[in-house]
Structure 1
Amino acid sequence: MLLRENPSAEALETWIIQLRREFHRYPELSFEEYETQKRILKILEEMGIEARKIADTGVLASIKGTSPGPCIALRSDIDGLQVQEELTEKNSEYISRNKGVMHACGHDGHMAMLFGTAKLFQEKRDFPGEVRLIFQPAEEIPPGGAERVIAEGGLEGVDAIMGMHIFTNHESGSVGLRPGPFMASTNRFEVILRGKGGHISLPQKCIDPVRMSVDFINSLYSALEKQLEPDRYIIGVGRIRGGAQFNRIPDAVEILGSYRTFDRETTDIIDRTIEECLEKVVKRYVKPGEEFSGFPDYKLDILHGYPVLVNDPVFADAVNSKLQENFPELTIYPEIEKTFAAEDFASYLQKVPGIFLSLGTRNPEKNIVEINHSCTFDIDETILITGTEIFYTISLDFLNNPGKYLNPVTTSTPSR
């Protein structure tokens, strides 16, 4: 690899690992990353990199080359999860010090790799254009921090963007990319089914919302299975809540669920089917008589969260070619499978061309096998220098050769 030939590569790798462990010790929840923000600003100041706050708890920084040229943005998310980290045989030195909060999704590693990349560009300023660094808050909770970054000018003047995520679904150090749709949209639905409560010994005087909720969920799953292929969507109910006593039929039941898709058509079908199933269930439980007037009923709220993450095909093809050329020792998956995981990086890709890569960290020999969001999730830290090299290599090539990354039909070659 490029950096392995550099005598200072070992020192850089050590520094990156130290940063990752520091951030891992002190995770903070979405839009609460104030101490993380202070530390990011301090490190950038020490490196002599111009930076400012953005999206409340995020940081935007800029490294400018020695000649005019395009601008590429590199993004890292910075928030942790509401997870209590468990002690393992590996993490005793860097286990989370913040009770109930953990970097269980690799964001600590993402920050470390972005700092490593920044260090390389800051020390080797002989490049055209600008490298924009986005340390983005609140990736984990919709509506997320990306929209805030965009609204506050984070993409102004940016010609392309690149991001990377650490995953345990492929082997350590391998790289996955996929042109077109890669990660799913995330959508949330909340239903309140209102019946008529009363003593459980007199069901004829009641309308049971518990039975209604069971019928609704079963009918919804069945209706979707008849309309959609299983690879087009995923849906699940995460919470059902209602009632307080064993001998009373409750007045209402709340249902909270989520579904994910790879296209708007599928989302629309699920939206419509949820409402149709609710209408049918409510109609089925209607009872005649004045005492049942206004019952049953329902309330439905649907929140469309992150959009489908779509990698620019031209940009992805150029990235694949450069990775194959510069990293022959790496396993590269140019058509990695789509995932129902979701990412608000998708919002950036709706504004400018770019790519979101998957960096594998699975290493059974080191017992690095737990999936993201697990309370024992960890990463193989040898991948951090790999991710840094990829960030640096692709970004530098884009700055010098933007034409091969940008679709000439929709984007003119930038010049600054």
Structure 2
Amino acid sequence: MQSFEKWVCEVRREFHRNPELSFHEHGTQERIMSILGELGIDSRKIADTGVIAEVRGMLPGPCIAIRSDTDALAAHEVLSPRNEDYISQNPGVMHACGHDGHMAIVLGVARMIMEKQKEICGTVRFIFQPAEEIPPGGAARVIEEGGLEGVDAIIGLHIFGDVDVGQVNIRAGPLMASSNRFTVKIFGKGGHHATPDMCIDPIQIAAEFISSLKPAVSQKVNTSGHVLGFGMVDAGKQFNRSPDELELVGSFRTFDDNDIDTIEQVMITLLDSLMDSYSNDFMEGVPSYDLDVYRGYPVLFNNPLFTENACNLLQTIFNNVSAHPDPIFGAEDFAYYLREVPGMYAIIGTKNPEKGIVEVNHSSGFDIDEDVLLNGVELLYSLATDFLKNPGEYLE
């Protein structure tokens, strides 16, 4: 077999060449199972296009799960001097978020665990999860289908393009935000602009809603603890006519799941007030509105005790470990696993200006410094084996 470093890099490049979208990771699934088989590890399918596998040590003990996501993004990869040997062969689809690296890292951990199987006390479960990129995501499916049964703890990581290569960021408590989408439909009374007294203009109502919502939310939720924006406004077909209805779509993110309820209530209160101010006695039933708040991934909350001990361990291995990074407004369905069992999610950096690797995640020019692959393997392998030796230090 190839040297470990070369093998991990080639595994990553193979996945990078063959990206697949969420819940369409059929080829990816088959290749993961093939690689696991080559390592002597049995596996099975889960969540349609996911894979689950286990390595049991020679002695009894707890079970820790290690998760990788597997899906790619709908983006056309830009050719560069670095990626010409492994650029996406699936036009319009690319691994622009590092999931190819995640798969290679977790498979690298699986190879190392198999090589040390006789020394392992307990079980390591490997979860290759589909569809992280598109809510409701694949994590919930994995959980529903028993992917966490018998698991005592879970760990995972994410490669980030705006974090320096070699940097490891872990944080007890909220690390990543919830993601939520809202849709507002406003129903008015259409008519000619020459007779405004015969109309109730939903565009004007929406304009007030848009200008008022952010200040109203900021009075209830700390400004550093949320972001909110508007993404689409759809109304009207005629320049001199007020439309009958309007649809407005936006999103918001928070670091506290309770803030989701607060923001939704602010929206309701503001919309109710606008309906009252634009109503009149001559037009019954209008204006009115429908509000739908779709709750996406919840806040990713790292178990404090697990994270504290993980930090202590990792600071003995890596030179640059931050235990107090700012939480980030990105969202991850790994959050669902952490609602079920204790564990931790880590961020490792890949930014390296000297190699020209500076693009952020989801960019069509995104690439990784492949040195980060061995960092990721060492991080997850060290955490998994230390947990199996000392589970009491990680669990309450």
Per the alignment, residue 223 of structure 1 pairs with 216
With over 3 angstroms needed to count, the CA separation of the structure-2 counterparts of 1:201 and 1:82, relative to structure 1, is farther
Of stretches 140-149 and 198-207 in structure 1, the one that deviates more from structure 2 is 198-207
State whether structure 2 residue 368 is matched by structure 1 residue 379: yes
How far does residue 261 in structure 1 lie from its aligned partner after superposition? 1.0
Letter in 2 for 1:319: A
Query: 1:100, 1:23 → 2: CA distance?
Result: 15
Q: What's the secondary structure of 1:275's corresponding residue?
A: helix
Give structure 1 regions of 4+ aligned residues with deviation exceeding 6 angstroms: none
Alignment of structure 1 residues 356-367 onto 2, 5 Å: 356-367=345-356
Q: 1:46 aligns with which of 15, 34, 38?
A: 38
1:60 equivalent in alignment to 2:52: yes
Instruction: Give the secondary structure class of the aligned counterpart of 1:223.
Output: helix
Between the aligned partners of 1:404 and 1:119, the Cα distance in structure 2 is 26
Q: Is 1:353 aligned with 2:342? A: yes
- Aligned partners of 1:285, 1:42: CA distance in 2, in Å? 64
Correspondent of 1:368 among 357, 371, 383:
357
Tell me, in whole angstroms, the C-alpha distance in 2 between the residues paired with 1:202 and 1:45.
74
- Give the distance between the partners of 1:166 and 1:238, measured in 2 at CA: 27
Unpaired segments of 5 or more residues in structure 2? none
Residue type at the aligned position of 2:372:
I
C-alpha separation in 2, matches of 1:213 and 1:384:
48
SS of the residue 2:316 aligns to: helix
For 1:58, the aligned partner's letter is G
Q: How far does the alpha carbon of each residue in 1:331-385 deviate from its partner, in whole angstroms, 9 at most, with x for none?
A: 1111111111111111111111110000011111112111111111111111101
2:27 to 12, 19, 35: 35
Mean CA deviation greater in 246-255 or 55-64: 246-255
Give, in whole Å, the separation in 1 of the partners of 2:357 and 2:197. 57
Query: Which of 174, 177, 185 does residue 192 from structure 1 map onto?
Result: 185
**Structure 2 contact 160–347 (Cα < 8 Å) conserved:** yes
Q: What is the root-mean-square deviation of aligned Cα atoms in Å?
A: 1.4
Kindly report which structure 2 residues correspond to 1:261-300, keeping only aligned pairs within 5 A, or say none. Answer: 261-289=254-282, 292-300=283-291
Q: Deviations over 1:296-355 (max 9, x none)?
A: 11111111111111111111111111112233xx21111111111111111111111110
How far off its partner does 1:105 sit?
A: 0.8
1:317 aligns with 2:308: yes
Q: Pick from 135, 145, 149: which aligns with 1:156?
A: 149
Q: Percent identity?
A: 52
Task: Report the counterpart of residue 109 of structure 1 in structure 2.
Answer: 101
Distance (Å, rounded) in 2 between the aligned partners of 1:284 and 1:370:
48
Residue 304 in 1 paired to residue 295 in 2? yes
Q: Matched residues in 2 for 1:97 and 1:348: separation?
A: 32
TM-score, length basis structure 1: 0.92
Deviation at residue 253 of structure 1 after TM alignment: 1.3
Aligned equivalents of 1:380 and 1:312: distance in 2? 29
Q: Does 1:132 align with 2:121?
A: no
Residue in structure 2 matched with residue 254 of structure 1 by the alignment:
247
- Tell me if 1:403 matches 2:385: no
